[in-house]
Structure 1
């Protein structure tokens, strides 16, 4: 006879479970290699320390704003409440009790007692801490360490390739996750996702307004000219759902706007690792959404700790397709929220990714222009022509 929905959902969950395991398999080597290479290469450029600090200052503030906005909106809208998912039985007993880490536990937990153990358990923050030490030391050692950094750079490229392969399976996992969810929950589930998307896009628009206002504080009316220059790369990022695809065009637009090449060529790539405003807003939004769907209440303290975790884990993740998924998967594990909840979002992730990527381009464009202004390396091409024109 007909297979009952239960066994269908089981088979479907097999596919999506495999996909999640593949993502978790990637996390440790990917985070380690991308972060170490990023830090070591930055260490090579000692003379750009001042620019780096200014850029970092802006990035940190922008990150906090993006993460807080996501947190604020998800607590305001509570999109996860509409979608009640039973917590998987295995974690049901322990899951809720342990979802609040105390500050002392959190800080102790930052440092791995063994990096192999940290990598084995996918403790992403421990990997980050070790990578920070490792990358800084590698830069300090100098030429002796160069071959090793090259090798780790090789690992990073291989891992990006592996990630590409895994992400090719995403559509199958998405189909499995969505059909499994509909099989057990009915079609009404789809409206929840529609609402989630609407609320997320509203958040993105708010973030654009905030970023433009921040740019206006330093660039004045020219910020609107900058947005005009960024229109093309932003549309490109939106349609390809990839901020990287827009990188060359963004660089071009910034130089046309009057940012000196040496500033743009340094700040923009660093921004791609440290300043993904759209992605960061999404990370808090999605993580709390999943917790809400499982009925796991996170108090303010836990949410702030989670924000700090996301602040660190989202670094160095730029080159990764669907990076936010990997970051969220790692963060959920840290707070004992079942990572199967990620699959709920996989189906609409592409549409969310379009908005995230476009926002990342705008955020980095504004950041680069502002840093150039602080360094007095921002010219105004329109005014320069006037000044050098012969008097009539």
Structure 2
């Protein structure tokens, strides 16, 4: 399923340019709104601001909903076709094992790097704002990640239900069974495989239509964040945000270096290809919004379609390097803010807890916050500390999402190389 090659070479760059411009315009418009309507003489926001923010939120929501609409059919069609083409369970098992091995290594690496940086930089110790009282409500749903909830997230009771709720992991499990069955039936399953193959092409075509509205969504997302908070919030939390982004940058650089051991100089070409999906994830603070585009770009880069079809959906559940780093950062940041000194053994236990709990709540919005909240209560750190982060969660989420996209592209490229299937 190769993308047609008669695309104009300058097209993707122009789209990236539009998204970048939208990002900058969004910041400017947001700040303008914040300054004119955000803090009037009475100290309250102007009522008009709420309406404007609502309009912005709707624009972003519409885009994200349109993207989510594509994800289930796209994952099913690409995965099943990929499996059917592999033709045997051994190949599937081999690629799956390599993927899981890479994901766990990358996750542990992200967690450890996050832990090391927080202990070195101590962002929580230098916070000059009043702390929320230890008993304050965070307003997050009380979900304690457990083995039971992990299993429920992984195995679908109904594929229609999994598709309706965009539970990527459940869709992957179903598609793997379905694809392996298609492969073993051979010619008998051909009509279905052909149908799904054309479905995946149709879905990628739909993606290209939806992507035209990406700059508007990015603009609206940025403007609404800044209009609510103002750029001033960046100064209060400047050190924390700066250190977190430094951590993400370091993580991406190190992952890039490790992967260049496998794919050599092609890492630069990979970066060129995934610029736009990363920008998109950054602007909308959602890694999902980049999924369809990322699939297209990785195949253009030369990753094997069978590998992408398997590695990407799995990666979206298991390989969220940016989120992993954020979780260590956040827990230790809150502990530092409350002056709680966590022993090294506690910190390592926390890493293990995060490594597994973070895998089970993939489909929940603000999932990382729920995992953090559960982890905080395990180690008797006031959960109210999360209120320190809620205001800037969106700003941190932008970096996390872009890093998640980067981590998954690297995984797809390296595993394609391992399978000797990188074109």
The runs of 5 or more residues in structure 2 that have no matched partner are 1-75, 84-88, 168-220
1:368 and 2:412 aligned: yes
Closer, same or farther in 2 for the Cα pair 1:215/1:327, shift >3 Å? same
SS across alignment from 2:327: helix
Equivalences, count: 277
Distance in 2 of aligned mates of 1:235 and 1:259 = 20
2:141 is aligned with 1:123: no
Aligned partner of 1:387 in structure 2 is: none
Deviation sequence 1:217-240 (CA, Å, 0-9, x none): 110111111111111111111111
In structure 1, runs of 5+ residues without a counterpart are 1-37, 92-119, 139-145, 159-167, 179-186, 380-392
8 Å CA contact retained: 1:322, 1:353: no
Shift of the 134–345 alpha-carbon distance from structure 1 to 2, 3 Å rule, reads closer
How big is the shift at 1:86? 5.8
Residue of 141, 151, 162 corresponding to 1:153: 162
Compute the displacement of 1:150 (Å). 3.5
- Equivalent pair of 2:262/2:414 in contact (CA under 8 Å): yes
1:271 alignment partner, one of 302, 310, 315: 315
Deviation at 1:88, TM superposition (A): 3.9
What is the aligned counterpart of 1:348 among 389, 392, 396? 392
TM-score by length of 2: 0.59
Question: 1:35-86, CA deviations, whole angstroms, 9 ceiling, x for partnerless residues?
Answer: xxx9xx99xx855222111001100110011111111111111111123766
Kept in 2: contact 1:226–1:257 (CA 8 A) = yes
Deviation at 1:132, TM superposition (A): 5.2
RMSD value, Cα: 3.3
Cα contact 2:124–2:336 (8 A) shared by 1:
yes
Q: CA deviation at 1:300?
A: 0.5
TM-score (norm. length: structure 1): 0.63
- For 1:366 and 1:241, locate their aligned partners in 2 and report how far apart those are by CA, in whole Å: 20
Does the Cα contact within 8 Å between 2:134 and 2:383 map onto a contact in 1? no
Measured against aligned partners, the alpha-carbon deviations of 1:142-200 in whole angstroms (never above 9, x if no partner) come to xxxx7x34376378559xxxxxxxxx9xx99x97xx9xxxxxxxx9x974411111111
Structure 1 residues 166-245: aligned runs within 5 Å: 191-245=235-289
Once the two structures are TM-superposed, the CA of residue 245 in structure 1 deviates from its matched residue by: 0.5
1:315 aligned residue (359, 362, 371): 359
Q: Name 2:62's counterpart in structure 1.
A: none
- The reply to whether residue 74 of structure 1 matches residue 139 of structure 2 is no
Report the CA distance shift for 1:302/1:244 in structure 2 as closer, same or farther (over 3 A).
same
The corresponding residue for 1:285 is 329
Q: CA deviation at 1:378?
A: 1.3
Check the 8 A contact 1:55/1:371 in 2, yes or no: yes
**What secondary structure is seen at the aligned counterpart in 1 of 2:341?**
coil
Q: Give 1:131 shift.
A: 4.4
Measured in 2, the distance between the counterparts of 1:151 and 1:334 equals 35
Secondary structure of residue in 1 paired with 2:359: coil
Cα deviation for residue 316 of structure 1 reads 4.3
Q: What SS does the aligned partner of 1:378 have?
A: coil
Assess, with a 3 A threshold, how the Cα gap between structure 1 residues 89 and 71 changes in structure 2: closer, same or farther: closer
Q: What CA deviation, in whole Å up to 9, does each residue of 1:225-263 have, x standing for no partner? A: 111111111111111111110111111111011112111
Query: Do structure 1's residue 357 and structure 2's residue 366 form an aligned pair?
Result: no
1:192/1:215 Cα in 2 relative to 1: closer, same or farther (>3 Å)? same
- The alignment partner of 1:230 has SS state of helix
Cα gap change, 1:322/1:131 in structure 2, threshold over 3 Å: closer, same or farther?
closer
Q: Is the 8 A contact 1:87 1:338 kept in 2?
A: no
Q: d(CA) in 1 for partners of 2:390 and 2:131?
A: 18
Residue 97 of structure 1 is matched in structure 2 by none
**Alignment check: 8 A CA contact 1:123 1:334 kept:** no
- Aligned in 2, Cα 1:149/1:239: closer, same or farther, shift over 3 Å? same
CA distance in 2, matches of 1:369, 1:63: 17
Could you say if the C-alpha distance between residues 249 and 89 of structure 1 is closer, same or farther in structure 2, counting changes exceeding 3 Å? closer
Taking the aligned partners of 2:134 and 2:415, their CA distance within structure 1 comes to 51
d(CA) in 2 for partners of 1:284, 1:227 = 26
